[in-house]
Every structure is written in C-alpha cells, then in structure tokens.
Amino acid sequence: MTQTVIWTVAILAVLGFLLALILFWVARRFKVEEDPRIDEVEKVMPGANCGGCGFAGCRAFADSAVKAANMDNHYCPVGGDEVMQKVASILGFTVTAKAPQVAVVRCNGSCANRPVVNDYDGAASCRVKAALYSGDTLCSFGCLGCGDCVAACQFGALSMDPETGLPVVDAQKCTACGACVKACPRHIIELRNEGPRGMREVVRCVNKDKGPVARKACAAACIGCGLCMKTCQHGAITVADNLAYIDYTKCKLCRECEAVCPTGAIHGVNFPRELDKEAVKKRIADRKNKEAANG
Amino acid sequence: MGKVTFSRGGIHPRDCKYARECAIEELPLPKTVYVSMVQHLGAPAKPLVAPGDSVKVGQVIAEPGGFISAFIHSPVSGTVKGIAPRKNLAGDPVMHVEIAVEGDEWDPAIDRSGDLVTDIPDDKALILGRIKACGVVGLGGATFPTHVKLSPPPGKVADCLIINGSECEPFLTSDYRIMIERPKEVVVGAAIMQKVLDGCHCVIGIEENKPEAIAAIRAAVAELGYPDIRVQVLRKRYPQGGEKQLIDAVLHRQVGSGGLPIDVGAVVQNVTTSFAVYEAVQKNKPLISNILTVTGDKIPAKLQHNYLFRIGVPLSFVMEQAGGIPDTAAKIVSGGPMMGKAVSNLDATTVKGTAAVLYLSEAATRRQKESHCIRCGKCADACPMGLEPFLLNRLYKAADLEALEKNAAQDCIECGCCLYSCPAHIPLLDHIRQAKGQVMGVIRARAAAAKAAAEAKKQ
C-alpha cells in the first residue's frame, strides 16, 4: 500500500519534471517576438472592443497602430483625442485633434407627426421590417421604430422614447463608435460634430419624396422647398432629392434656417435660449431690404 | 399507381378551401388600370408607349429589360395617361403605365372564340417565340419567364415535365377551378410544353383533396389522347407545390443545394401557366388576365369569388366588386396564407402572378408572444429542405455568415413550415429570410470576384 503511494508520487514527479523541461524548451525555441508597445497601447485604450475604429477590437487596433507609418487611418472614437494623444506619445507620432462627434437621429416622425396606416405584427427588428415593406406609415424613408440601433449600442446611449416611438441619443454616453449608423437599415442616424457646447443645427428628416407626398406622410417632413438654402449666408445648406442637408463643418449656428423652415423640420439642439422666430425673420427681412437698397 | 408525396418535412395546415364551389366569374373593367413594369422575376420591363397613345387589348406596351424578363401587354383598350412610379403591394415605388379604359377593343390577331384547338404547331422555335411574345411567366408564384424555363441550357436535357396542380396552400382555389372548368386547355398546354421539351414524359400532379379535378383532368387526357401524359395523385401535404418537393414526390429525385430542377432532368410548370401557354400558342392571346380567389376565414359566402381579372386592376377595385372588405378582416394578404404577402397598400395593382386576395381574421393572423426556444426540434422536423431553423436563427443573431452558409441558409424556400410548427412562436422565418439574403449577397459577391479574376487572367 505505502509502496504504491510512493511509486505513484515518484512517477508523477518525474513526469511533471520532464514535461516542464519540454515546455521550457518549446517556449524558448518558438518564442514570438512581439512588439512590447502593442501591450502598452492596448493598456491606454478604452477596452470597449466596439469596433468603432474599424478594427476587430482594441488589441487589433493596437497591433495595426504599432505597424502603421502614421496615425491617419487610426482613430479611436470612443477614447477621443485624449486617448489618441497617449497612443501617439507611446508610438512617437503626432496627431491632430479631431472634433468630438455624436450620433444624431435624423427623423422626427413621432406618433403625433406621422400617422400609422397599418399594423406591423412581424419580428421586432427594423432590418426584417425594412425587407418586408415600406413601413407602417406612409413615409418610406423614416424611422421604423423597432430599435435595432438601441440593440446595437454597447454604451447604453440609445433608448426608445415610448411617447414618440423614436430613438433618443444620450450625448453624455454616446462615444460616436458608429454601431447604430451601421445597424439602421434606413440610414437615419449620422455622426456629426458635437458643436460648441453641444450646440448644433440638424434637418431631422430623410424623406426624399416630393413635397406634398412627404407632407401627407408626416407633419414634420422636409418638403424640399429650399427656403433654408436661400436664407443661409454660409452656404452650409444643400437641397438634393427634395431634401435639405446642413453641412456641419460650414454651419455657423445662426439659426436663420430654423426660423424660416415652414414645416419645422430643422431643429436646433442645446441652444441656451429658445428661438425667437419672429425676431430672426425680421433680421433676415431687414438684411434683404438693405441689400436691395444697396443694389 | 398509389398516392405519393415528398420525403422530408412538411406540415398539414387546415384546407380552408371555402371558395372551391365558386365558378370563375369575369371581373368587370374599372375606369383606370395601372400596369406594373415589374410583374416577373428578373429585370423590369421597358415601356414602349408614351402618354396620349391609344392602345388595344393585347397590344405590347413594354419590352423585356434583359434576358430574364418578359413582354407586357395592355390588358384593356384606351389611352395611356402616364408612366410614373406608383407604390406596389409593399409600398415601394415601381414604374406603372396608367391606362384610361375606353370600350373593350381587342387586337384583331387574337382568336377570342371558345373553340378548342388541339393541333399543336410542329415548329419548336415558333412555339417558344409565341410564348415569349405573349409574355407568359410562371403563375405558380415565382413568375419566372416561361420561355427561359422551357429552354434548357446546352448540355442539359429534360426527361420529365411536371405540371403542378397540387395547390397545397390553404384557401386558394384558382388552380382547382381552372382544372375543373378548362381541363382540356390545360392538357393541350401541357402537350405543347412537352413538344418543346422534345417529347419527354409529362406528369400532372394533383393533390388528393381535389378528386373532381383529378377526374376532370383524367377524362381530358383520355379524350385528347396525347402520348405519354399521365395524372399522378399526390398525398395532401404542404409545401407540395414547391418545385423541389414536387420533383421529389413525383420522380423521387433530389435537387441538390444551389441546383435547378433541370439538373435532375425535370421542368415544373403550374397548371395555370399551362393554360396561359395554351392561350398564347393556340389562340395568340397574350397573358393579360389570370384567375384570382377572393376568400378568407369567417367571411360570408357571398364575399367569396373566383375571378378572371385583367392584369393591372387595382386590388381595391377587386375588393369593391367582391362585396367590400368584411368587418372581421384584420389582415389582407395577396396570395396564400403561408407564402403570400400582407397588403400594406390597398391601391396596389394586380400583377401577372396575383393568385388571391385573402381576408384573415384577428384570431387567424395575430402572432403570439415570442418565448424561449425549448429545443423541441419541431422546426427541424417540419423543414422540407432538411435545414435546422432553430440553429439558423441563432447563427443569424450571432451574425455568423460563414456558419450560416455552411448550414445552407441559402437553401431556404421560405415556405414558413418552421414558423407554423414552432410552439414558442419564435419568428424563425423572418430571421432566416434575412440570413438567406445576407448569405446570397456573399455568394454573389464571391462569384463576381471569381469572374473578374478569371477575366483579368485571360487578359
């Protein structure tokens, strides 16, 4: 009995030692030299593995960044400039600061604005719904309301507003990773510059139907009248396919477009004061009179 | 020979063929028709008329937009009012030719008499030319251009033509009515297609729940005396009318993944297509009308009809003529309850392939709350393609395209058996249909890349 125990222990000990030797040899012989900076870069990354940078995760980003010649194709939208500065200092690059971005929902087709004409009873997924038909309202461009974007967001920044039936972005939590942009089959969500103190001007409509058709489908639709484009002094607004679009890089936040929009499709976000439409309209009229007087 | 059926999966939904005793009536003409340019599988047709043109019944108004496409003819006589996008059944804009109806003046080349013409032309090319010129497409559901299907690619030979009279979808009775009322025309149509396929065997498959149709077609076959046409009784089972299932049932041959019926020497055509082929070849009448069933559950008998309708008539007009939409209707479906499409736009028009307007009650149509998969395997038992719907559903959720392709999501025929049999009410088909689309996209992209690479190598 005792002997059996002793033999067992002895054999196991010898086996263990031999195997350890093999492992030791294999580890030395087949050692992969990895750039130690990959670990360093990965350490400063947010670790969300969201894929917002276009790589499979933070490790893949670090791996690619270390091999890259410059930082042009590498930007972590979650970590933003702060993280990119750290990454650049590890790798000895310089990065130019990028304006922080945020996801913007470009549809205001709430239950009140956009009457529902038929009842959808299929799988609760925008992608499935979009493949089946043009949606339960007369608008075949706007939000389908099944919340694929909410499901795609890893940061809890999106939620469905039960009252309007539209997704709402929590700008504090949004990291602009772009997962919702990819998830939306109607391409309603867009990444835009956050703007100074979060102020921005957005056309909250993507309907490309002609004016009367769009208006019939939704009270808050852009009808492509072009008033905003004519009013804008900064050339920030273009109208294509019966739809206005504000270029956020050119917009100076004067809010004149918002004041003249007949359907209220243009929205100003995070402005400290409410828009006094009449005052702005008067300002525009005065300017036009002056221009006319000057010939 | 005894009754046969396909070997794998399938379900037995209730028959519900309430409109089976309703004889075919001719639907009156509305004031305006809207003829869609997308009535067939393949490229949209290109309009040949301009606003202001006057057209006669049967006049060509659009030509094929590609190899797989079809001619479209005016279903009415009158004046072309416009060519503009209009919302289809699903609410998506599609080109339509709008024609204001004036009288009912037919193209004189069309033989409108009811006489049966049994002498089949000898020239194969002539027959195929007529089928193409008359815009005949498969009326079993897929609306694939018939002349393309009847021209097997080089190196492939069809040894059996199967005429599909199974009509396995519940509620639908249009194929049944045509077999009862026009059996001889159907058989002549079959003989024409048999001739085009170099005199191969011909089997007309009919499900056992239609004994009158079986008797009528058998009598017509015996009377007309064409060689090598027989009627095969099929055991009732859904989806027997699926091409691959029907080939399995009749010939006991399996069409492989990604394969076509011609790969196993079979061509399948619907009985209504056979009738359309008869009219095209023997009467020179283009495909401008078809039979549709107006029916539903829990609706009065007076609202149930089988109509001979002119293509392009708005669905709302059909419903109005049939006696209005019943109060019990919670959902209106174009086609059968299993594979038909819900109508979200009542102003959509009928197309060549429209087979039914179906009113379903709240109880019959409302989906129940989804719960968790209990791994019972009923979906896998029901799948006629031998797929594992529960697995495909999970792979779709994990977005694993590689695994989806390996598990043959692309082979799904969208029959809905999995969804029908799932006790947890999981929207299996909705998800698998998405997965199928994604996998098909990957396969197509790969094929295109391979083609481009081969061409680059050549140069």
In this model, does residue A276 exceed pLDDT 90? no
Measured between CB atoms, does A123 come within 8 Å of chain B?
A: yes
What is the nearest CA distance from A37 to chain B, expressed in angstroms?
A: 32
Measured between CB atoms, does B316 come within 8 Å of chain A?
A: no
What's the confidence (pLDDT) of residue B375?
92
Query: Does A136 contact B437 at a Cβ distance shorter than 8 Å?
Result: no
What's the confidence (pLDDT) of residue B364?
87
CA distance B315 to A37: 67
**Can you tell me whether residue B304 is helix, strand or coil?**
coil
**Can you tell me whether residue B80 is helix, strand or coil?**
strand
Measured between CB atoms, does B31 come within 8 Å of chain A?
A: no
Q: Which of B51, B117, B39 is nearest to B83 (CA)?
A: B51
Cβ atoms of B294 and B354 within 8 Å: the answer is no
| Confidence band of A295 (pLDDT split at 50, 70, 90) | low
Cβ atoms of A45 and A62 within 8 Å: the answer is yes
What mean pLDDT is predicted for residues B372-393?
95
Measured between CB atoms, does B434 come within 8 Å of chain A?
A: yes
Facing B430 at nearest CB: one of A117, A128, A136: A128
CA distance B43 to B66: 6
In which residue are the tokens 């804008």 written?
A232
Strands lying side by side in the sheet with B60-63: B46-47, B60-63, B72-73
CA distance A81 to A74: 12
Q: Is residue B240 within a helix (H) or strand (E), and if so which, with residue range?
A: none
Q: How much is the pTM?
A: 0.85
- Mutation choice for B interface testing from A117, A120, A121, A186 by most B CBs within 10 A: A121
Query: Does A122 contact B344 at a Cβ distance shorter than 8 Å?
Result: no
**Count of Cβ atoms closer than 10 Å to residue B308 Cβ:** 16
In this model, does residue A68 exceed pLDDT 90? no
More confident residue, B272 or B458: B272
Query: Does A134 contact B344 at a Cβ distance shorter than 8 Å?
Result: yes
Pinpoint the alpha helices (H) of B366-416.
378-382, 389-397, 401-406
Q: Which residues pair with B388 in a beta bridge?
A: none
In this model, does residue B1 exceed pLDDT 60? no
Summary mean pLDDT of chain A: 90
Cβ atoms of B75 and B39 within 8 Å: the answer is no
Question: Which one-letter DSSP state was computed for residue B19?
Answer: G
CA distance B211 to B216: 9
Q: Which of A247, A243, A167 is nearest to A206 (CA)?
A: A243
- In Å, how far from its chain's centre is CA A92? 29
Query: Does A134 contact B91 at a Cβ distance shorter than 8 Å?
Result: yes
CA distance B278 to B189: 4
Summary mean pLDDT of chain B: 93
Express each pLDDT in A18-51 by its tens digit.
Answer: 999 999 999 999 988 888 889 888 998 888 888 8
In this model, does residue A237 exceed pLDDT 90? yes
- For A132, the closest chain B residue by CA position comes to B90
Query: Does A140 contact B92 at a Cβ distance shorter than 8 Å?
Result: yes
What mean pLDDT is predicted for residues A140-160?
92
% of chain B residues with pLDDT over 90:
85
Express each pLDDT in B18-28 by its tens digit.
Answer: 999 999 999 99
Measured between CB atoms, does B367 come within 8 Å of chain A?
A: yes
In this model, does residue B373 exceed pLDDT 70? yes
In which residue are the tokens 């046409």 written?
B229
In which residue are the tokens 């139907």 written?
A209
| Confidence band of B238 (pLDDT split at 50, 70, 90) | very high
For chain B, the structural domain boundaries read 378-458
Measured between CB atoms, does A56 come within 8 Å of chain B?
A: no
Express each pLDDT in B138-182 by its tens digit.
Answer: 998 889 999 999 999 988 999 999 999 999 999 999 999 999 999
Express each pLDDT in A174-233 by its tens digit.
Answer: 988 889 999 999 999 999 988 888 889 999 999 998 989 999 999 999 999 999 999 999
What's the confidence (pLDDT) of residue B203?
96
| Confidence band of A275 (pLDDT split at 50, 70, 90) | confident
Question: Which one-letter DSSP state was computed for residue B456?
Answer: H
**Can you tell me whether residue B60 is helix, strand or coil?**
strand
Relative to beta strand B201-207, strand B160-165 is parallel
Residues of chain A contacting B422 with CB distance shorter than 8 Å: none
Q: Judge if the upstream peptide bond of residue A212 is cis by omega within 30 degrees of 0.
A: no
Residues of chain B contacting A127 with CB distance shorter than 8 Å: 434
- For B433, the closest chain A residue by CA position comes to A128
What's the confidence (pLDDT) of residue B354?
93
Residues of chain A contacting B93 with CB distance shorter than 8 Å: 140
Spatial neighbors of B56 by CB under 8 A, at least 6 apart, are: B74, B77, B105, B106, B107
Query: Does B430 contact A134 at a Cβ distance shorter than 8 Å?
Result: no
- For A118, the closest chain B residue by CA position comes to B344
A88-97: long-range contacts (C-beta < 8 A, 24 or more apart)?
A90/A37, A90/A40, A90/A41, A90/A44, A91/A37, A91/A41, A91/A65, A91/A66, A95/A71
Tally the C-alpha atoms within 13 A of residue A150's C-alpha that lie toward its C-beta.
16
Q: Number of Cβ pairs closer than 8 Å across A and B? A: 44
Measured between CB atoms, does A118 come within 8 Å of chain B?
A: yes
Express each pLDDT in A151-175 by its tens digit.
Answer: 999 889 999 999 999 999 998 889 8
Q: Which residues pair with B207 in a beta bridge?
A: B234
Express each pLDDT in A88-108 by its tens digit.
Answer: 888 888 877 778 889 999 999
What's the confidence (pLDDT) of residue B358?
94
What's the confidence (pLDDT) of residue B458?
84
Residues of chain B contacting A134 with CB distance shorter than 8 Å: 87, 90-92, 344
Measured between CB atoms, does A182 come within 8 Å of chain B?
A: no
